[in-house]
C-alpha cells in the first residue's frame, strides 16, 4: 500500500491542502491517487483572460519515476485552450511531460508550467497537425512521442 507513488502523492496532496495552490490554480478533485483534476486560469493580461480550463492528471504506480499523464479535460462543456502546443483533444505537447520529466517535478510544478505556457502564448492557434493528430491519437498522451521543436511559447 505504501508504495512510493502513494506516499509521494499523499505528501503532495497534504501540502496542497495545507498551503493552497498558486494563484489561478485550484484543486477540483483528488479522491484517489489515480486521477486528479485542477482548474487553471491565467492571471493578468493574456490571450486567455477570463478563461478557465480543467487539467487532468493520471498517475500510475511508478509515479514520480514515471511522469503523470497530463491533459486538458475536453467534453461536458469543457474545452482545451487554443494554443500551438495544445491539441483539440486536450493533449499537450510539452517536454516536461515527456522526455524531460524528472521525479523532482510535482503536480503543482506541472500546473504552474502549463499556466505559464498559456500566459506566454502570443497567438491563439492549434498545432498545425492538429486534425491529423487527433484522428489517431492514443487515449493516453504519454503514448505519443512528441517532438519538442519550439521552446518560444
Partner 1 sequence: MSSREPLWFCHECHAEMRPLMVPDPVCASCQGSFVEKMENPADDPREFAHHGPGDFDAEGLPPGMDAFLFGLQALVDRGTAEGRTQPSRVGSGNGASGNRLTFQISGGSSQRPNIGGRSGSGTGSSGPVPTIFIRRDSDTPQGTSITGPLMAQYLMALLGQRDPLNDLVGRDLSDGRMGDYVFNQEALDQIITQLMENSNAHRPVPATEEIISNLPREVLEYGSPMLEKDCAVCKEQFKLETEDPDEQVVVTLPCKHPFHEPCILPWLKSSGTCPVCRHALIPQPEHQSPPAGGPSTNPDSARHSPDSSRSRSPRRDPDGHDATGILHSLFGGFVGGRGHTQAGGNGHNRSNSDPALRSSGRGTDSRNNVPGSWEDLD
Give, as ranges, the residues between 75 and 134 that touch partner 1 (CB under 8 A). Answer: 93, 95, 99-100, 102-104, 106, 127-129, 132-133
Radius of gyration of the chain (CA): 15
Which grid coordinates belong to 116?
Answer: 505559464
Q: Report the half-sphere exposure of 29 (CA within 13 A, side-chain side).
A: 8
Cβ count within 10 A of residue 109: 14
Contact status: 4 vs partner 1 (CB under 8 A): yes
* Beta carbon of residue 132, minimum distance to partner 1 (angstroms, whole number): 5
Indicate the DSSP class of residue 142.
G
Minimum separation from the CB atom of position 131 to partner 1 (A): 10
Q: Is 111 helix (H, G, I), strand (E, B) or coil?
A: helix
Contact positions vs partner 1 (CB under 8 A)? 2, 4, 7-8, 11-12, 62, 64-66, 93, 95, 99-100, 102-104, 106, 127-129, 132-133, 135-138, 143-149, 151
Amino acid at each position: 500500500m505504501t508504495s512510493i507513488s502513494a506516499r509521494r502523492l499523499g505528501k503532495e496532496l497534504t501540502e496542497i491542502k495545507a498551503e493552497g495552490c498558486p494563484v489561478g490554480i485550484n484543486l477540483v478533485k483528488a479522491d484517489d491517487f489515480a486521477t486528479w483534476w485542477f482548474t487553471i486560469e491565467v492571471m493578468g493580461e493574456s490571450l486567455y483572460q477570463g478563461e478557465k480550463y480543467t487539467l487532468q492528471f493520471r498517475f500510475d504506480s511508478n509515479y514520480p519515476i514515471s511522469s503523470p499523464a497530463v491533459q486538458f479535460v475536453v467534453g461536458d462543456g469543457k474545452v482545451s485552450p487554443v494554443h500551438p502546443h495544445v491539441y483539440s483533444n486536450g493533449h499537450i505537447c510539452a517536454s516536461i511531460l515527456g522526455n524531460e520529466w524528472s521525479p523532482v517535478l510535482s503536480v503543482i510544478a506541472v500546473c504552474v508550467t502549463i499556466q505559464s505556457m498559456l500566459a506566454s502564448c502570443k497567438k491563439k492557434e492549434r498545432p498545425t497537425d492538429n486534425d491529423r493528430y487527433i484522428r489517431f491519437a492514443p487515449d493516453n498522451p504519454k503514448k505519443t512521442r512528441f517532438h519538442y521543436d519550439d521552446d518560444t511559447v
